[in-house]
Amino acid sequence: MFATRRESGFTLIELMIVVVVIGILASIAIPNYMMLTQHAHEAAVKENMHTLQLSMEDFSVTNDGAYPTSSASTTIEGFTLAQLCPTRTYPMNPFTQRPSVVQFNAPPTSGNPGEMGINPANVHDYLIHGNDMKGDTLRVVLTAGQ
């Protein structure tokens, strides 16, 4: 009988196969992760829009039915719209991790992800728009009484 020499470890071919398999799995997983992250950020912007809508309605209830027309508008008790939000400031922008920018009487600025706009802002009604990850306006629009 022949004596076989037994070595422990992996051959170069085995290691290359493992690296190729890991590369294939990564090429599948990374785009899916990026897409899920984008959807999560858009959901956070929609949630921020809803929080702003609830704050607008709260402002109206405490201000004899009138909505704010600017960021400086206050209720009878002296609260601004931002102060009526749950955190006492506008909701956190998921892209910048800072309070969201809210434009009054204008749509959100194109190219600014997570920004929101109240347009038109008048005492009787409003439309709330928000920007997605690319800074494009989302299709969701929230209105008074909705």
pLDDT tens for each residue of 40-99: 999 999 999 999 999 999 999 999 899 999 999 999 999 999 999 999 999 999 999 999
- In a domain, residue 104? The reply is yes
Q: Per residue in 50-64, pLDDT tens?
A: 999 999 999 999 998
130 and 108 in contact (C-beta within 8 Å)? yes
Say what the pLDDT of residue 146 is.
62
Say what the pLDDT of residue 88 is.
95
Beta bridge partners of 85: none
The share of the chain scoring above pLDDT 70, in percent, equals 95
Pair of tokens at residue 124: 């009787």
- In a domain, residue 7? The reply is no
- Whole domain around residue 139: which residue ranges? 17-143
Say what the pLDDT of residue 120 is.
82
- In a domain, residue 8? The reply is no
Quote the number of domains for the chain: 1
Taking CB atoms within 8 Å and a gap of at least 24, the contacts of 114-123 are 114/41, 114/44, 114/45, 114/48, 116/45, 116/48, 116/49, 116/52, 116/90, 118/52, 118/56, 118/68, 121/67, 121/68, 121/69, 121/70, 122/67, 122/69, 123/66, 123/67, 123/69
Q: Taking all residues of the chain, what is their mean pLDDT, rounded to a whole number?
A: 92
Residue 2: pLDDT band (50, 70, 90) is low
DSSP annotation of 99: B
The whole-angstrom distance between residue 92's C-alpha and the CA centroid of its chain comes to: 8
Q: How far apart are CA 68 and CA 105, in angstroms?
A: 11
